[in-house]
Amino acid sequence: MRVEYGNGEGAFDWLAFDSSAFDTGNVPLSDDVLGATGVRLKYGIDGNGPTDLVAGTGELQCVLRNDNLAGTIGRYSPNHANAISSWMYGVLIRCVFTYNSVNYVKFTGKLRVIDPEPGRYRGRKVAITAYDSMRDLAEADAREVAVQTNKAEDELLDALVAVMPTSAQPYATDFNAGVDTYPYSFDKVAGGTKVLSVMRDIVVSSLGMLFQKGNGTLCYRSRHTLATGSSLATFDNTMVDLSVPSSLDGVFNRVRVTVHPKTISAAATEELYTLPSGASIEMAAGATTEVWTDYTDPDDRQVKIGGTSVVTVLVGGTHYAANSQADGLGSNMTSSITATVTPFGSTAKWSLTNGASSTTFITVLKVIGKAVRDVGPQTFQSYEAEDYGDRPIDIDLPYQDDPYIGQSAAHYLRQQYSDLAQQVGSITFIANASNANMTAAMQVEPGDRVTVSEYVTGLTSVQCIVQSVEFEVQQGIYIVCRWGVRPANTTLFWQWGIAGASEWGATTVYAF
């Protein structure tokens, strides 16, 4: 069901939560949103520096009246007898604007905070907060992903999504085809590593961009797409606020980029893990236990590594052994142990069962396979002298192994961030002040390009990439929209087969 909410202007139409699919079972919230507090939502990437390329958690906040005109109290208190059906943590929340008879979904997420104000005779209000799927990515474990060989960044992102629980996966994905191929990936995904952390390493390594759109789609934009996009909106002294840099904090004329070439063992004979000498795992009679073992370099156990081609046909006495005493003495109990191992990129999961009628101690446990090693980082620099002095920045591309791309990335980032002339931090405008503004507010998403001119600051047709989108809708006539932005590439790169970027003699700066 849908209901309208707003101030009679018809601009902010409805807010609903959904316990199943978006097109069925919608329960209206809009009539219960308090106009004085309104609705505030934000999603996308915070910051506009060279490595601010991955979105954080987007959120929607509003306050609901916790009764209705008939005086029914507790409608939005999950533990109350009067709570509306399906109102619980984790239900889907979305916010939709309607303009010119077209619906624009500008937030999609899950209900995470429900904070009823106590007191029968008090305000009868409930503050709620919903988070978008970036929070699920930040909370999901990535440890059960295998080492990937010769895969592009979009394939790596797909592999990470696949290991997430179904209930935590994004509602939809839209990943550009990758522009880099990494020989070995996920070789350092140990226990406790989160999906979003690994995705960040992938995206930064390719200088792409990862974010969720308002409609819930998780998007990856490659550096080629970002470099060749066209502007979707122009603001020429029509914004109500503009943030531009007022210091050199975001300016860099010396950029150092580090890449990581890797090697792999010739044969699956290296001990990726071994139970430390003197250690043991106690197992009660008939017990089954699960053990996770992270890979380390057999040449230096302080160094974490990746592993592949792990031997899973286990041999008692070689891959595992057991004794009746913790110190390895006493009776040999290896034959009483049933063991299986499931290998992943940098860790392995063991299932161990003690079939004996007495307590047994695992005294040997080994994962044997091929080691994937970082053979030593290589750093490349791009520098150009500037009157303001030396402003260095060091950037690590964890999955990148190509020295050409390392050097090219250093040049590319220095050109974007070496001066203040092309930098804008944020743009704020009244969405419903004009048709152009409202259309831009509805259609522009993170990753899109916009153009800004402003007389006092001297900005002239500066092109920016939108990093984040924010709306504030309160009782009244104004809908405030704010975009966080960063410098867009203005170099015309030469890319084979791409119209507008492959005409010899017109765009002859080679892309990387």
**pLDDT, average across residues 153-179:** 95
Element (H, E) at 159: helix 153-162
- Give every CB contact of residue 420 below 8 A, 6+ residues apart in sequence: 244, 245, 248, 251
148-157, 230-239, 316-325, 497-506: lowest mean pLDDT where?
A: 497-506
pLDDT band at 68 (very low <50, low <70, confident <90, very high): confident
The fold adopted by the segment(s) 264-374 is Immunoglobulin-like (2.60.40)
Q: How confident is the prediction for the chain on average, in pLDDT? A: 87
137-151, 267-281, 464-478: lowest mean pLDDT where?
A: 464-478
**pLDDT above 70 for 287:** yes
**pLDDT above 70 for 257:** yes
The gap from C-alpha 36 to its chain's centroid, in whole angstroms, comes to 33
| Residue 127, pLDDT score | 93
Task: Give the rounded percent of residues in the chain with a pLDDT score beyond 70.
Answer: 89
| Greater pLDDT, 512 or 345 | 345
What is the model's pTM?
0.88
**pLDDT, average across residues 89-99:** 85
| Residue 498, pLDDT score | 59
* Distances, alpha carbon 502 to alpha carbons 237, 292, 494, 499, in Å: 34, 50, 5, 6
| Residue 5, pLDDT score | 23
Q: How far apart are CA 490 and CA 196, in angstroms?
A: 29
| Residue 227, pLDDT score | 86
| Residue 497, pLDDT score | 56
| Residue 21, pLDDT score | 32
pLDDT band at 92 (very low <50, low <70, confident <90, very high): confident
Q: What is the pLDDT of residues 13-53, one digit of tens each?
A: 334 443 333 333 456 677 788 777 788 999 999 999 999 99
pLDDT band at 221 (very low <50, low <70, confident <90, very high): very high
| Greater pLDDT, 117 or 394 | 394
- Residue 300's Cβ-count burial label (10 Å; 0-12, 13-18, 19+) is exposed
**pLDDT above 90 for 346:** yes
Lookup: tokens for 248: 């050199």
| Residue 100, pLDDT score | 86
86-100, 201-215, 436-450: lowest mean pLDDT where?
A: 86-100
Q: How far apart are CA 38 and CA 164, in angstroms?
A: 34
**pLDDT above 60 for 2:** no
**pLDDT, average across residues 440-462:** 93
| Greater pLDDT, 9 or 239 | 239
Q: For 235-355, where are the alpha helices, taking DSSP H only? A: none
**pLDDT above 70 for 277:** yes
Q: How far apart are CA 144 and CA 133, in angstroms?
A: 20
Q: What share of the chain is helix, strand, coil (3-state, %, to 5)?
A: 15, 40, 45
| Residue 72, pLDDT score | 79
| Residue 4, pLDDT score | 26
| Residue 9, pLDDT score | 32
186 within 8 A of 148, measured Cβ to Cβ: yes
Q: Calculate the CA dihedral of residues 15, 20, 25, 31 and round it to 10 degrees.
A: -20
DSSP code for 436: H
The single-letter code of the amino acid at 487 is: P
**pLDDT above 60 for 343:** yes
| Residue 19, pLDDT score | 32
Domain boundaries, the chain: 12-132, 264-374
Q: What is the pLDDT of residues 112-128, one digit of tens each?
A: 999 988 887 787 899 99
**pLDDT above 90 for 298:** yes
